[in-house]
Amino acid sequence: MKKLFFLIFTILGIGYAQTYSFMHDGNPRSYIVHLPTGYNPSNSYPLVLNFHGYTSNASQQQAYSLMDGVADTAGFIVVYPNGIGNAWNVGFGASPYNSGVDDVGFVNALLDIMIANFSIDQEAVYSTGMSNGGYMSNRLACELPFRIVAIASVTGPMTDSTYAYCNPFRKVPVMHIHGTDDPIVNYNGMAQSLSVNELIDFWNLHDVCPGSSNDIPYPNINLSDSCTAIRHEYLPCADDAEVVLIEVVGGGHTWPGGVIDLPSYGHTNRDFFASGEIWNFFNKFRLNQFIGIDENVSDKYKLYPNPTDGLVYLGMDINYKISSVSGKIVKESVTNSGYADLTELSTGMYYITLYSGNTIISRKILKN
């Protein structure tokens, strides 16, 4: 059985959750793990990261999104991380990622801890979030595409600095849910933030999707919520990825179907349940759909010495990229006589990734 290190135990509905913490970059970081009903460590489970909005926290997002009930029914694990200062570092401010908090590195480390302590299906790791947490999910799609399969954002598009650096090596399935009357994150864009249409155009271009959508109105089953919803599907995309926009006409800065309704944030749509729609979207995609391993490459692949003082032997001449643990590419080159050169890199942990067409192998390496 996987090692569990319980700190706090709380009963939440028919499932259960624990709060955990660890140190990252000198800061205590905490997160809530919800295990589905009947969790069995002998099985492997999909994992959904669910990020809170600005000024909110993990427990509030857990209560607001009602995703635990979906997880219990569908059989997946949900993690609700806490941001430092109730925020996620997505690029708002005078400089890119101005807060100095390495939230991408934190998520990367969190995934390692989850895999070490729970039965996680590493081909099925997804990210969603509300507002600031939606911005964070978009950033993770850009910087951790070798771990995060697909994302779904509610009211949180992409900051201009995330946009400037975003170039994931593969196609990323994306769902975005946004109210046209959102008083907090303007549907049509605002300072340092893309509009919804700009966000969709970006992902459509990256995923090689058609510019026009198949539009499907949701039945207006709740006449008292003062808003309606339309699902815009941009299909087909390359590698069977999908880009989906759920436009909440007259909707506010809210999680459709969420338990809390705050009038100052606008109308909450009750014609569909965001958490259910998000899971149905995620459940279509697995990482190996977008990342393949050529057996010819795999058979030849070497990695030694590891740790290394500089040169590392990979066994073949091939394109490679080296990324920091936060996902930032720090070197891109071609091996020379089978060797990659890490001499100029600072001491620390990196990911080294080999590319052959649409093939990828990615491994951790320690530079002394």
Of 244, 249, 243, 211, which Cα lies nearest the Cα of 229?
Answer: 249
Instruction: Locate 281 and state its tokens.
Output: 């979207």
The confidence band for 290, taking pLDDT boundaries of 50, 70 and 90, is confident
Nearest to 355 by CA among 304, 326, 305, 316: 316
Dist. CA 137–CA 264, nearest whole Å: 25
CA separation for the pair 162, 13 (Å, rounded) = 37
Separate counts of helices (H) and strands (E) for the chain? 8, 17
Please tell me the predicted confidence (pLDDT) of residue 326: 56
178 neighbors 196 (Cβ within 8 angstroms): yes
Helices (H), 120-253: 132-143, 160-165, 196-207
Query: Model-level pTM greater than 0.85?
Result: no
Backbone angles phi, psi at 105, to 5 degrees: -65, -40
Give the residue, 323 or 166, on which the prediction is more confident. 166
**Residue 119: both structure tokens together:** 């039965």
Q: What's the confidence (pLDDT) of residue 330?
A: 86
Cis peptide, bond prior to residue 173, ω within 30 of zero: no
Q: Where are the domains of the chain?
A: 8-289, 295-367
What confidence score (pLDDT) does residue 22 get?
95
Q: Read off the tokens for 301.
A: 């692949």
**8-289, CATH topology level:** Rossmann fold (3.40.50)
Q: How many CB atoms lie under 10 A from the CB of residue 290?
A: 23
Q: Are strands 45-51 and 77-81 parallel, antiparallel or unpaired?
A: parallel
CA 125 to chain centre: 8
pLDDT-wise least confident of 118-132, 135-149, 346-360: 346-360
CA distances for 41 relative to 4, 148, 314, angstroms: 11, 22, 35
Buried b or exposed e, range 255-272, using 16+ CB within 10 angstroms = bbbbeeeeeebbbbbbbb
Question: Of 158, 182, 344, 186, whose CA–CA distance to 255 is shortest?
Answer: 182
Give the domain 295-367 fold. Answer: Immunoglobulin-like (2.60.40)
| Phi/psi of residue 210, nearest 5 degrees | -70, 155
Query: Do you find a cis peptide bond into 305, omega within 30 degrees of 0?
Result: yes
Of residues 108 and 205, more confidence is placed in 205
* For residues 7-26, average pLDDT: 65
Q: Is the pLDDT of residue 2 over 50?
A: no
Residue 122 has pLDDT above 50, yes or no: yes
Q: Do domains 8-289 and 295-367 have the same CATH topology?
A: no
Is residue 100 over pLDDT 90? no
Contacts 24+ apart (CB under 8 A), 184-189: 184/131, 184/155, 184/253, 184/265, 185/131, 185/155, 185/156, 185/157, 185/253
- The pLDDT assigned to 10 comes to 32
Spatial neighbors of 296 by CB under 8 A, at least 6 apart, are none
pLDDT at 359: 55
Looking at 58-72, 154-168, 340-354, which range is the least confident one?
340-354
Q: For residue 165, what pLDDT is reported?
A: 86
Q: How far apart are the C-alpha atoms of 180 and 251, rounded to whole Å? A: 6
Residue 312 β-bridge partners: 340
User: Which pLDDT does position 294 carry in this prediction?
Assistant: 53
In the chain, pLDDT over 90 holds for what percent of residues? Answer: 65
Spell out the alpha helix ranges (H) of the chain.
58-65, 67-74, 103-117, 132-143, 160-165, 196-207, 274-282, 295-300
Average pLDDT, the chain: 88
User: Would you place residue 14 in the very low, low, confident or very high pLDDT band (cuts 50, 70, 90)?
Assistant: very low
**pLDDT at residue 4, as a whole number:** 29
Tell me the sheet residues that pair with 96.
Answer: none
Query: Does residue 96 surpass a pLDDT of 80?
Result: no
The span from the CA of 316 to the CA of 355, in Å, is: 11
Separation CA 91–CA 7 (nearest Å): 32
Grouping H, G, I as helix, E, B as strand and the rest as coil, residue 112 is helix
Average confidence (pLDDT) over 22-48: 96
CB 246 within 8 A of CB 231: yes
The predicted pLDDT at position 6 comes to: 27
